[in-house]
């Protein structure tokens, strides 16, 4: 049995943060009910311009929509809000990422909901927080990167900020939110009471910089991990070489390729000087690397205990033997595409085994089934359909 079997999660969220958290909880066996508003539903359903143009499933929605049932519910109607209230009364977890005040205006803020269902775990993923000068600002991963200092990490003073293309803050926030939900569920087993779980893109982006924050707080210096990395061109690609944990990495690099010791130059005598004069190291050692393939460079450098790795394209990474060995990809049945490989949960429980996940559902695909599960009759469900309460 999966650890969250029997746990009902109501997901009212859009884009990546909360939908991914919902999928993570679904991976552990929770019955995740994704509640969307007509007619559009989650923005992720049409954010993929290619899929939308083809009138097929959005690839982005497919990435975060597994292991859920969908309910399309019009919360502008009194009956829609009544349905949501009944679901909340019988649910274990509610997660959302609406702006502060939105759920309160609907009558489903934490204070109201916790009175009607004291055992409910109420989890919110904010953009910047529940209160404060940024609380009402629309949130997004790259905005959190910008406001948190993340985009300036590794950038020289006066240099151009760098945004990370992969929504790393969204992912980390989803993982943090699901972690909080799991902790609250464990706490409920002991106390019998639910809890309010909150986090935000902004907080998580700052938390990810805990080492950088510590260096400023303790010794007033700016940690820059990028300075420890050098990227060299090879005859067929690129390789990253780290100077971390080695007193004289350049000397070891020269040994690996049978070159004269370039660290004999006083400007390059140790790792600190080599980082300071990285441009000279690149100028002197770059031509050496370009004579060899990436694989050969990795083999030679590894023999001298230099930390290095090839720079790979995602397509190559997904085919790599280590990726296959780790079983991070899972087969998902996508309508119109058959079985495709998508990224699964990186955390695995040995007791769960491996199975094909529930594929991403169409908007409102399980509306009737869900309402039936919560005690509504066929006549009531048909009436809701006719009046557009559910779709």
Catalytic center residues: 170
Q: What distance lies between CA 250 and its chain's CA centroid?
A: 36
- Give whole-number Cα distances, 272 to 57, 276, 288, 316, in Å: 52, 6, 22, 34
Distance CA 3, CA 350 (A): 11
The span from the CA of 238 to the CA of 271, in Å, is 22
Contact between residue 44 and residue 61 where contact means Cβ atoms under 8 Å apart: yes
Give the whole-angstrom CA distance, residue 223 versus residue 92.
Answer: 42
Q: What is the DSSP letter of 328?
A: -
Rg of the chain on CA atoms, in Å: 26
SS3 readout for the chain: CCCCCCCEEEEECCCCHHHHHHHHHHHCCCEEEEEECCCCCCHHHCCCHHHHHCCCCCHHHHHHCCCEEEEEECCCCHHHHHHHHHHHHHCCEEEECCCCCHHHHHCCCHHHHHHHCCCCEEEEEECCCCCCCCCCCCCCHHHHHHHCCHHHCCCCCCCCCCCCCCCHHHHHHHHHHHHHHHHHHHHHHHHCCCEEEEEEHHHHHHHCCHHHHHHHHHHCCCCCHHHHEEEEECCCCEEEEECCCCCCHHHHHHHHCCCCCHHHCHHHCCHHHHHHCHHHHHHHHHHHHCCCCHHHHHHHHHHCCCCEEECCCHHHHHHCHHHHHHCCEEEEEECCCEEEEEECCCCCCCCCCCCCCCCCCCCCCCHHHHHHHCCCCHHHHHHHHHCCCEC
């Amino acid at each position: 049995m999966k650890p969250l079997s029997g746990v009902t999660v109501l997901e009212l969220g859009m884009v990546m943060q909360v939908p991914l958290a919902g999928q993570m909880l679904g991976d552990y066996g929770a019955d995740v009910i994704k509640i969307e508003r007509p007619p559009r539903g989650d923005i992720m359903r049409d954010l993929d311009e290619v899929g939308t143009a083809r009138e097929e499933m959005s690839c982005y929605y497919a990435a975060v929509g597994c292991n859920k049932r969908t309910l399309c519910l019009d919360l502008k109607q009194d009956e829609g809000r009544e349905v949501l209230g009944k679901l909340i009364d019988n649910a274990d977890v509610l997660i959302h990422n609406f702006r502060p005040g939105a759920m309160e205006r609907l009558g489903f803020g934490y204070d109201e909901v916790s009175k009607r269902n004291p055992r409910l775990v109420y989890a919110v993923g904010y953009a910047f927080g529940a209160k404060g000068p940024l609380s009402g600002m629309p949130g997004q991963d790259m905005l959190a990167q910008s406001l948190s200092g993340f985009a300036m990490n590794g950038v020289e003073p006066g240099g151009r900020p760098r945004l990370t293309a992969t929504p790393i803050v969204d992912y980390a926030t989803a993982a943090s939110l699901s972690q909080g939900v799991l902790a609250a569920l464990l706490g409920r087993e002991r106390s019998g009471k639910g809890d309010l779980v909150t986090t935000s893109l902004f907080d998580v982006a700052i938390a990810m910089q805990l080492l950088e924050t510590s260096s400023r707080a303790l010794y007033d210096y700016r940690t820059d991990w990028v300075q420890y990395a050098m990227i060299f061109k090879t005859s067929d690609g690129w390789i990253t070489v780290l100077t971390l944990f080695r007193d004289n990495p350049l000397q070891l690099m020269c040994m690996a390729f049978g070159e004269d010791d370039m660290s004999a130059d006083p400007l390059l005598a140790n790792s600190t000087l080599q980082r300071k004069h990285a441009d000279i190291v690149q100028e002197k050692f770059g031509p050496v690397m370009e004579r060899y393939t990436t694989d050969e460079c990795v083999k030679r450098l590894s023999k001298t205990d230099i930390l290095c790795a090839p720079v790979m394209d995602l397509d190559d990474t997904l085919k790599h033997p280590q990726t296959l060995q780790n079983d991070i990809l899972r087969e998902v049945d996508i309508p119109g595409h058959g079985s495709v490989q998508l990224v699964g949960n990186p955390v695995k429980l040995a007791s769960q085994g491996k199975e094909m996940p529930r594929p991403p559902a169409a908007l409102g695909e399980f509306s009737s089934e869900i309402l039936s599960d919560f005690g509504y009759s066929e006549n009531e469900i048909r009436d809701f359909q006719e009046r557009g309460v559910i779709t």
